[in-house]
Structures are given as C-alpha cells and as structure tokens.
Amino acid sequence: MKVLVIGAEGQLGTELCGEFKGCELHRADLDGGYHRLDIASKKQVKSLITDIGPDLVVNAAAAHNVPQCEEEPERAFAVNATGTRNIAVACRETGARFMHVSTDYVFGDGGTRPYLESDLPAPLNVYAASKLAGEHLIAANMDNYIIVRTAAIYGMSECRAKGGKNFVGLMLSLAATRPEVRVVTDEFTTPTYTRPLAKQMRLLAEKAEPGLYHVTCNGSCSWFEFAQAIFEETGTDVKLVPTTASEFQSPVRRPSYSVLENRHAQDQGLDIMPHWREALVDYLKAAEAAVG
C-alpha cells in the first residue's frame, strides 16, 4: 500500500508515520525535510497527490492553535476547511482513500453523555467551526473517506501548537517548579495517547466502511482527574488544587464536556482503543524508556 501522511512531523503525524512504516510511505509537512506542502494551496496539493498516486492519504495537518485561530480566522478556514477540501478533491480525482483527523471540539455546551457520531455538532469557536466545515467539504466532494474525530491527544513527539509540551509534560514540569498545581474540575474529555490512536487509524483505513468515526481512548475524566492520575503514576509529590475554568478567563469558548463514544467502530467490531488510564501508563513507560 502506498501511503501519504500530511502533517508528518506533528505530534500525531510522527506516530502515524511509524505505524505505516511497512508501507511505501511518503511524508509531507509545512516544514521539515520531506515534501513541503501547504494544504491551503490547491495547486500544491493536486501536484503532490497526482505525482505520488497514493492508495491512502492521511491528513493530520491543521491550524490547531485554538487562540490563534480566533485571532486569524481566515487562516484557520484556509487550512482546516479549504485545505481539507483541496485534499478531498485530489483524492477523488486520483482514486485514493482519504483519512482526515477532526476534533471533539465540534460539539458545544450542555453534554452529559458521550457524543455519538450521529449527534448534532454545535461549535463554540473558530477552530471548531473551521474543522466542522472541513468535515462537510469532504463529504460533499467524495465518497471514499474516513473522518476521525479524536480528543485531548498527547504523544512522544512535540506538540508544536503548544510550545512543545503536551498536557502530561506540562503537569510534570509545573510540579517540578511550583509548590502547587491548579487544574480545572469542570471540563471533561478523554485523554488519548497517539500510539494506540495511530494503530486504530490504520485498522480503520484498511478495514472500515467509509464514514465518520469517533476515536478516543475509552472512559472519561476531568482535567483535574487526569492530572491526578499523572502524579499518581509517576509518584510525583505536589499539591494539586482543584479549580474551575472561570478562574483562567480564557478568551476562547470551549465545550465543558466533549467526551466521545467510538460507536461506529464498535458496531463493526473494530474498536481497539484502550482505557485512558491504561494508555497513560503505557505512555509513561515509553517516555521513560526513551530517556533511559
């Protein structure tokens, strides 16, 4: 299988390249030493996909710095909506299957149970609206696609939109430099490790029917509970103080509950995602091995 991974040098893209390394793998990114690609350029996208002729295109590229998207909505929509359409059209024209990464943020406030793929989105910010627009533009332009909504990802590679640190790294860094760490108790999600996420995505790419899929680790927690688990699993002694989102006064509206259920994959017997706490333990072991 010939595979093109776009956003190949990002946190998830790096993991996806590792998962598809046994294939004829091509990498593209806005930066780096492989194919240079700005997905907002229709000409660049069409030229690259036509030249490579992949069987599968996986798009992990996005404008995903949420505050920056609020400040630069034109760029957010150029990448997350128009850029996604550019890839979809090129995939349709070359006969490639298109796998695209979207987000739990497409949902709004008021959730009390895990969202299904059939639930109605209600984006609260520019980032979410631009990602939802990208989903619609895929469905409007081709049939052989898989859209993967995921949430709260963290992995071995740097998170470029957040200055290099994922949430786990941030918590451990704060614990090492401050007498206490304050984390919100009123925002709920499912932390998702990129390694099992990449494995799940390959399985869906090869086996699943076209459509929309929720893909996160199983279970859910508040960010406070996630931080608590990080400190417990690492034996970190720090005062963890509960707080609420209102204390941080973010200028960006975010859903307070964005837990997803992997129903579509479950219905096909294809859900292989671990519980979030199990995935955290695996990540910490891998991180320790990488340092040692």
> 260 near 115, Cβ under 8 Å?
yes
**Which neighbouring-strand residues pair with 239?**
180
Handedness of CA 224, 118, 83, 271 (dihedral sign): positive
Question: Residue 18's CB: how many other CB atoms inside 10 A?
Answer: 15
The helix (run of H) or strand (run of E) holding residue 28 is strand 24-29
Copy the structure tokens of residue 225: 């509970």
153-186 burial: b if 16+ Cβ within 10 Å, else e: bbbbbbbbbbeeebbbbbbbebbeeeeebbbbee
| Gap between the Cα atoms of 122 and 118, Å rounded | 13
- The dihedral over CA atoms of 182, 149, 48, 23, expressed in degrees to the nearest 10, equals 100
Q: Please tell me which residue in 115, 127, 193, 257 is annotated as part of the active site.
A: 127
Is 105 an annotated catalytic residue?
no
Report the distance separating Cα 200 and Cα 205, nearest Å. 9
Q: How far apart are CA 144 and CA 162, in angstroms?
A: 33
Q: Quick one: three-class SS letters along 60-78? A: CCCCCCHHHHHHCHHHHHH
CA 88/CA 84 separation, integer angstroms: 6
Q: What is the rounded CA–CA span in Å between residue 177 and residue 25?
A: 41
Q: Which residues are tagged catalytic? A: 127
